[in-house]
């Protein structure tokens, strides 16, 4: 049986906030190789292909029980999909669709 992988998506407030998301929404993840702050940054895009956040990658932003961007970075070749499971006040919890 394949283990399900959950991630925290943060910095949502910079792109319109969490209220526009619902459980079941599909999002795309893409390596952000141009990110000056994080060598393992993963951008998150909504169904309109608009940037809507980043996969959390620090101890203070990764929710307990979820994977950081660094832990899934090598699993992403070009893009990968995820599904929103929980919409919290300032972040999303999503499941990778692998």
CATH (domain of 29): 3.30.70.2330
pLDDT of residue 98: 77
pLDDT of residue 75: 87
**Any domain includes 75:** yes
Nearest one of 62, 10, 53 to 30, comparing CA atoms = 53
pLDDT of residue 43: 97
**Any domain includes 86:** yes
Q: How far apart are CA 56 and CA 82, in angstroms?
A: 14
How many Å is the maximal CA-CA distance in the chain? 38
**Any domain includes 1:** no
Q: What is the pTM of this model?
A: 0.93
Q: How far apart are CA 81 and CA 95, in angstroms?
A: 9
Q: Which residues in the chain come in under a pLDDT of 50? A: none
State which residues form the domain around 31. Answer: 6-97
Considering its fold, how many domains does the chain have in total? Answer: 1
């Amino acid at each position: 049986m394949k283990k399900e992988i959950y991630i925290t998506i943060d910095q949502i407030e910079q792109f319109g906030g969490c209220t526009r998301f619902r459980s079941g929404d599909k999002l795309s993840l893409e390596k952000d190789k141009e990110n000056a702050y994080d060598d393992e940054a993963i951008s998150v895009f909504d169904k309109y292909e608009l940037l809507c956040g980043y996969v959390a990658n620090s101890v203070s932003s990764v929710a307990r029980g979820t994977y950081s961007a660094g832990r899934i970075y090598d699993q992403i070749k070009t893009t990968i999909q995820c599904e929103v499971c929980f919409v919290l006040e300032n972040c999303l919890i999503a499941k990778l669709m692998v």
